[in-house]
Amino acid sequence: MLSRVANTLYWMVRYVERADNLARLIDVNQQLLLDFESLDSERLRGFWHPIISSTGDEEAFSKLYDASGSDEVIRYLTDDSRNPNCITSCIALARENARTVRDQLSDELWEELNSLYLFSRSDEAHRLIDSDPPRYYENIRRSAVTFLGIAASTISRNEAWVFMDLGRHLERADKTTRFLDVSSYLPAGADGMEAISPGILHWTAILRSCGALGAFRANQLHIDARSVADFLIFEKNFPRSVRYCVERVDICLHLISGTPRGAFSNEAERESGRLLADLNFGSTEDVFAAGLHEYLDSLQGRFNHIGGEIFETYVLMPERILTSPGPKPPTLSEVAAWRQEQHQSQSQTPS
């Protein structure tokens, strides 16, 4: 597969996954605040500013907005064209990537992504953001899940699919850590739940953001910081846990290179294998001993490193090889001169 095509498919799915996760995060936070209608604007800001901090957009956000209330954060993460990582920007970038590789996609997949793009730019979408936000974010989430379902049902299990699956799980692992990291930025008392089992509603919201509440309850676990962190980081069977996603990333990288798992042929495979081993043998005690925020920040750095090495191995290096100047081919006159020289040399050789 051409490196350009592989990179395009990889980012197409990453952008769809990113839009889906942002919609989940904003919607769940809005629903959570319905339980705290009595909070003043200053305490409400304690719920929204951590979301900006966890996404890593704090500096860019502060340049555009003076306040970090619900209206500003929602606008920035949903449809502010100045933010390349907002929901509408991600959908537009996903569609543009898909447009350039239409021959690699099924008609149904293109139609679903194009419909999502048209909806995100429609008057109906703008109206829903202002008047019925839960319905808007539900539409985004359902379209993203439908897109991934159609991809799973209509794409051959070739290199195209593997690069798409690779992008999806690397992005999902990163966003799960960022959902968990929201708690690190909450100021003391910002939960507004001092009289109601402190923290339970917040950790429940994080589980809902990851679509993990049902699976978590099925394991009959008690909702607190340690059990939620353990489930979303180390659970091997839940498809949004960090461990599950990293294992899929490792599988995809080895499928692409053909290297047996347990060995590596490039830096991306080496780092994914090391990270998977750390998760397989790690524990929640290790996480909280290091500090939840510090541990999650380290994971995000390692995800970025894997992403950078994927680019170096499968995108940048092939382009360097293709675009590097090779030896200049000889002209016809040079070939003729060489032949004449060889003929003269042979004729002068004594018999």
Query: Is the same domain home to 145 and 272?
Result: no
Query: Is the same domain home to 299 and 282?
Result: yes
Higher pLDDT, 245 or 328: 245
pLDDT digits (tens, 9 = 90+) for 120-133: 999 999 999 999 99
Statement: residue 134 has pLDDT above 50: yes
Query: Is the same domain home to 202 and 146?
Result: no
Q: What is the pLDDT of residue 345?
A: 53
pTM of the model: 0.85
Query: Is the same domain home to 67 and 174?
Result: no
Statement: residue 304 has pLDDT above 60: yes
**219 in any annotated domain:** yes
Q: What is the pLDDT of residue 192?
A: 43
Query: Is the same domain home to 34 and 141?
Result: yes
Query: Is the same domain home to 203 and 165?
Result: yes
Query: Is the same domain home to 226 and 317?
Result: yes
Query: Is the same domain home to 174 and 228?
Result: yes
**165 in any annotated domain:** yes
**164 in any annotated domain:** yes
Structural domain range at position 252 = 156-188+198-324
186 CB-contact burial (10 Å; exposed 0-12 / middle 13-18 / buried 19+): middle
pLDDT digits (tens, 9 = 90+) for 238-247: 999 999 999 9
Structural domain count of the chain? 2
Q: How far apart are CA 311 and CA 135, in angstroms?
A: 37
**Cross-strand bridge partners of residue 263:** 261
**330 in any annotated domain:** no
Query: Is the same domain home to 181 and 293?
Result: yes
Query: Is the same domain home to 73 and 102?
Result: yes
**179 in any annotated domain:** yes
DSSP codes joined into one string, 77-88 = HHT-TT-TTSHH
pLDDT digits (tens, 9 = 90+) for 73-116: 999 999 999 999 999 999 999 999 999 999 999 999 999 999 99
Write 201-207 long-range contacts (CB < 8 A, 24+). Answer: 201/32, 201/35, 202/32, 203/228, 205/28, 205/29, 205/31, 205/32, 206/28, 206/179, 206/180, 206/182, 206/232, 207/231, 207/232
**344 in any annotated domain:** no
**349 in any annotated domain:** no
Higher pLDDT, 44 or 68: 68
Statement: residue 340 has pLDDT above 80: no
Query: Is the same domain home to 77 and 172?
Result: no
Statement: residue 135 has pLDDT above 70: yes
Q: Average of pLDDT values for 302-322?
A: 81
Query: Is the same domain home to 148 and 294?
Result: no
**331 in any annotated domain:** no
